[in-house]
Amino acid sequence: MLDVLNIEFLMALRRINVDGIEDMVKSILGNKKAVVAELIYNKVNLGDGFYFTHRLDKDIIVDTNTGNVYRIDNNRYQSVVYYNEVSVRDRRTGEVQEVLKNGVLDFGNVKVSSSYTFVGGNNYYAVPFDIPYRINVRVHTIIAGMTYNYDVLNAMGIKRSKDIHHEKRWKLNSDNSGKNLELITIKEHKERHKKNKYE
């Protein structure tokens, strides 16, 4: 199991650009876990199942109600989070638009990326992160990370001790809503799938 205090400490050192910390984080966590840990460290709970986080050149709104992850290019837009609202300002035109207000998400004219790639043998939806290296993180891992925090890192990689279970599995694992995801031990996950062979 990963120690939450050590992960928080590593993320804090990373934020203030301590020399060599990037390599240390990657060697301890691995590239993919480092990306997820950063998303969790930077998250802001906006209420109503919405979270705001960021990684390098992307601001991210996570909707755990629908299981969607929206990426906003912060080279083009400047995001402002105020309590449970998010507004963005177009850096080219200066136009400001509220994208999340009173639990309603509406991007209007703001160009966001919500496209996914497929990874793994089960065709899981994944979010591509391109800077500084190409990493695909499964959508359900990001959604579970908003709910279960750093414990979700224990459900990643070959030496994982936990799994993220989809209560209802739809075609192509498309129901990634927070209410459909549960972080459980690998043993319990195998037992549940034995009972429900259709999954």
pLDDT in tens, 86-118: 999 999 999 999 999 999 999 998 989 887 887
Closest among 145, 166, 178 to 34, alpha carbons compared? 145
Three-state secondary structure readout of the chain? CCCHHHHHHHHHHHHCCCCCHHHHHHHHHCHHHHHHHHHHHCCEEEECCEEEEEECCEEEEEECCCCEEEEEECCCEEEEEECCEEEEEECCCCCEEEEEECCEECCCCCCEECCCEEECCCCEEEEEECCCCCEEEEHHHHHHHHHHHHHHHHHCCCCCCEEEEECCCCHHHCCCCHHHEEEEEHHHHHHHHHHCCCC
1 pLDDT above the threshold of 60? no
* pLDDT number for residue 8: 80
Q: Is the pLDDT of residue 195 over 80?
A: no
Cα(143)–Cα(66) distance, integer angstroms: 10
Q: What is the pLDDT of residues 5-45, one digit of tens each?
A: 778 887 887 777 777 777 777 787 888 898 999 999 999 99
176 or 124, higher pLDDT = 176
pLDDT tens digits, one per residue of 157-188: 888 999 999 888 665 557 899 999 999 999 99
Tell me the one-letter amino acid at 58: K
**pLDDT attached to residue 56:** 80
pLDDT the model gives residue 95 = 95
In this structure, the chain runs to a length of: 199
Q: What is the mean pLDDT of residues 37-63?
A: 93
Each residue's pLDDT tens digit, 70-88: 999 989 999 999 999 999 9
Residue 29 is predicted with a pLDDT of 81
Of residues 197 and 186, more confidence is placed in: 186
Taking the domains of the chain in order of start, what are their residue ranges?
Answer: 4-195
pLDDT at residue 55 greater than cutoff 90: no
Please say whether the beta carbons of 185 and 162 come within 8 A. Answer: yes
Measure the CA dihedral 80/85/13/31, to 10°.
-100
Give the list of residues 6+ apart from residue 69 with CB closer than 8 angstroms, or none.
60, 61, 62, 63, 114, 127, 139, 142, 143
